[in-house]
Structure 1
């Protein structure tokens, strides 16, 4: 997933971070140039500040999101706006499949929830975002019951 943002310490620069929910690794770009990541503890990104100095930006996890924050000089900088509590509730409804469907339900529910959270952060009208999230949630439950029916039929 890619997110564009700006940092207060670098007002004239545009940043983009690319994160992987599978590996947890991130790549940071400043004005379309990839930023080097240090090997030291915390693996900070080394952002050049224009005066031949490097600013250390530490990627920090941000639960329940999969989008990290960047900590610079002790200040956490949000990459994407936090969702509202009701967006987490609505977007996370498919996770309830874990209680009904165990591993299969949990995997489908988690993938749908991650997709829903990303939809809430996309460009577009609020109405279209909510319609997409509701549609994905409904389709996830339908897909789960279709898969269970097919697996049951195959076993019997």
Structure 2
């Protein structure tokens, strides 16, 4: 069995960006579960099939876990980067629903403000991929899966 390839080291700016993103996710997850539950509830689409509070609590827990993983799981940095990027994509429909349904939350009380916010979600995806080196080191993730199968 071949050893799992080690991702290339990341630069100090990437490391700082990864830790900062992790801290932001930890904070967001914490406020999901505490002081901003109603604000986050406003972002759950009306058509979503689960109870709103379950979605808010569940996404808060996921954010805490992802934030901790970004900071602590350096060996799995590439995989975590892809998972965080996928999470940001998965929650994007909530941001779209907030715009389409005209729901006020987090100071986004105009259609213009809600629309502008939509353009920041792709930046979060890019932040996750860049700061973890996930895009740069994507071949290593693929080859580690091939090594595990052999």
Same fold (TM > 0.5): no
> How does the TM-score come out when normalised to structure 1?
0.28
* Structure with more strand by fraction: 1
Larger Rg: 1
> How does the TM-score come out when normalised to structure 2?
0.29
* Structure with more helix by fraction: 2
Which one has more relative contact order, counting CA pairs under 8 Å at least 6 apart? 2
